[in-house]
Amino acid sequence: MVDELLFFMEVVVGGLLAGTMYSLVALGFVLIFKASATFNFSQGAMVFFSVLAFCGFMQDFNIPFVLAFILAALLMVVVGLCTERLVLRPLMNASEDTVLMATIGLGYVLEGLAQAAWGVEVRRLDLGIGDFPVPWIADNLKLFISALDIFAGLVAALMIIGLFLLFKFTKIGLGLRAVADDAGAASSIGIPLKHIMLLVWSAAGVVALVAGCMWGARAGVQFALVDLALKALPVLIIGGFSSIPGAIVGGLIIGATEKVLEVYIGPFFGGAIEGWAPYVLAIFFLLYRPEGLFGEKIIRRV
């Protein structure tokens, strides 16, 4: 009995920590949505693009770890700059759906560019933290929990705290919130919309890079990351599109549910229900609480 409980705990904790990885992808999405009410479908592609560039800098040019990370982050700032100028500004007054489709196009461009520049083979990314159970926890609590999962959880927590402080206590954060609330009114009182957009896209790019590092260390840096990142969408639906805590809680819920379902119900259906379970969970949320757990209620005017 105790063993079973321990095993259940292990599954749940493993799922929760893996869920933080989904949260990290969802976080970049929320940042952009909060500031510009844009659904950025290319967030997954940004994850792939940034981490592939990071690996490329390290492995093809032998640039040291920290410098390569900074270079990749700078690259994401450039991507943000180009996106703002070439995609978002011309579509300033376009409808939501049009911008969404444009970001699907943007995702294609980023995926293509990344593969053209760095090749299509799977790259290994070594963060110096192994994907194996931590001995100390295994000995004392009898739980097998991967060190990488714990590290990802810590990084996610740090990023959330950082972003929370940024949004709550800095002038930039105030500007961000103002733009999110009403872009027109914000620009009329002199908040530079262009800079805010650039800042948000760069921040989302850096978040994508961090998320990519975590995923890359686990599953290898490869195209499949884009499909994995799609799972951030149900996370967002559960958490609400405009809420940073929502992204975290959503990720945790998806991560834990997915693992529990896979372990306890999956075997009856031949396994691999992870692939669609999050989406079906999202549908149930949509039916009963379309705005998500933490999102603002969507009111449409006629």
Whole-number minimum distance, CB 102 to another protein, in Å?
4
If phi > 0 it is left, if psi is from -120 to 50 it is alpha, else beta; for residue 142 that is: left
Whole-number minimum distance, CB 75 to another protein, in Å?
16
How many residues of this chain bind another protein (CB under 8 A)? 49
d(CA 130, CA 212): 16
Site residues for another protein, 119-158, by CB under 8 A, read 119-120
Q: Which of 152, 200, 203, 211 is nearest to 25 (CA)?
A: 211
Q: Which stretch binds another protein (CB under 8 A): 173-181, 194-202, 231-239, 243-251?
A: 231-239
d(CA 104, CA 244): 23
Query: Angle at CA 150, nearest 5°, toward 149 and 155?
Result: 100
Contacts of 108 (CB under 8 A, 6+ apart): 45
112 binds another protein (CB under 8 A): yes
Among 230, 260, 263, 293, contact with another protein (rule: CB under 8 A): 230
Among 70, 86, 154, 157, contact with another protein (rule: CB under 8 A): 86
**In 10 A of CB 118, how many CB atoms?**
19
Tokens of 94: 């376009």
Q: Which stretch binds another protein (CB under 8 A): 10-18, 171-179, 191-199, 276-284?
A: 276-284
Output DSSP code: residue 295: S
Closer CB to another protein, 134 or 282, in the complex? 282
Among 191, 233, 249, 254, contact with another protein (rule: CB under 8 A): 233
111 binds another protein (CB under 8 A): yes
Q: Are the C-beta atoms of 51 and 125 separated by less than 8 Å?
A: yes
Closer CB to another protein, 175 or 234, in the complex? 234
Tokens of 211: 């998320």
Upper half-sphere CA count for residue 126 (Cβ side, 13 Å): 4
Burial of 29 (0-12, 13-18, 19+ CB in 10 A): buried
Output DSSP code: residue 40: -
Among 109, 137, 166, 178, contact with another protein (rule: CB under 8 A): 109
Among 75, 155, 273, 293, contact with another protein (rule: CB under 8 A): 273
Whole-number minimum distance, CB 134 to another protein, in Å?
33
Whole-number minimum distance, CB 300 to another protein, in Å?
7
267 binds another protein (CB under 8 A): no
**Rg, Å, the chain Cα set:** 20
Closer CB to another protein, 171 or 300, in the complex? 300
Binding site for another protein (CB under 8 A): 39, 41, 86-87, 90-91, 94, 96-102, 104-113, 115-116, 119-120, 227, 230, 233-234, 237, 269-273, 275-276, 279-280, 282-283, 286-287, 290, 300, 302
